[in-house]
Amino acid sequence: MTTSPALANTREELNGLLASARRDGRRVGFVPTMGALHEGHASLMREAARHADVVVVSIFVNPMQFAPTEDLDRYPRTLPDDLELCATEGVAVVFAPAVAEMYAGGFSHESVRDGVTVHPGRLATILDGASRPGHFDGVLTVVAKLFGLVRPDVAVFGQKDYQQLALIRAMVRDLCLPVEIVGAETVREADGLAMSSRNRYLDPAQRAAATVLNRALRAAQERAAYGVPAARWAAMSVLKAEPEIELDYLALTGVDLGEPPEHGEGRILVAARLGSTRLIDNMRIHLTTPAGTPSGGSTTEEGSSRCCAR
């Protein structure tokens, strides 16, 4: 029999529910989410439980990380189902605040510009940051707010959002925040598609086409022993064969999202649209450059004009 998590909608309720854990010195683990939970989120909760005594999950669709033209209004809200999944995973507390609880007086992009926010720096200007200006300002600002409210000892984030994970780690380091950040492996469907709340937007044809992202990344992994250009070419060849997708970017980087090494661990990342739905994915990649093979060339391909225009 599962026990339902305690539900807090205000910071006062949250403080009351966590008071005994803090008083007793129990470690608090935290999983921030926007709801519409699935097995990928459940894996983050299980990872948090391995590092902490009490697990808190937040469910908050953060308006600051959506541009006015993005899918804030249609982002799925499934709180009853989310609470059931949290109960199954033994979550102690779910924090589901209203917008006015997180942004005093409500939210507007104009009001946020007049307030105090977190500026994410240069790393937020590439990849997803280039495609979604201001997105990571919203992510880091709300995560900083949630850290201040929950005061976790450890917080768990998925590696599917790899750039987000890198920026949160940088924020914690640069602002001296007393929380350990754990990056959990991406959870995938049986056909390799990375689990995402946005997958439910895909129609059957788009859902089938979406597997090209996983296949492209794996193709790059298989050719990584032949160097950066070969790995990138292998991934692009797979992407070009799928007419349903509109490529946003394909990038081969170092683990810090800088230049890829000639030898060693890197990251390959992709973002693409299927209809109005934007999906991202990434994988680690081990690069080598065979003797006599040049290693130059751009690390990023962008835009539907170069690949898979619909």
pLDDT in tens, 190-236: 999 999 999 999 999 999 999 999 999 999 999 999 999 999 999 99
The answer, yes or no, to whether residue 187 has pLDDT greater than 90, is yes
The class of domain 197-300 in CATH terms is alpha beta
Contact partners, residue 230, CB within 8 Å, separation at least 6 = 223, 224
Q: Express each pLDDT in 15-30 by its tens digit.
A: 999 999 999 999 999 9
Q: Where are the domains of the chain?
A: 6-184, 197-300
CATH homologous superfamily for the domain 6-184 = HUPs (3.40.50.620)
Is the pLDDT score of 291 beyond 80? no
Does the model's pTM come out above 0.75? yes
Which amino acid makes up residue 171?
M
Catalytic residue annotation: 41
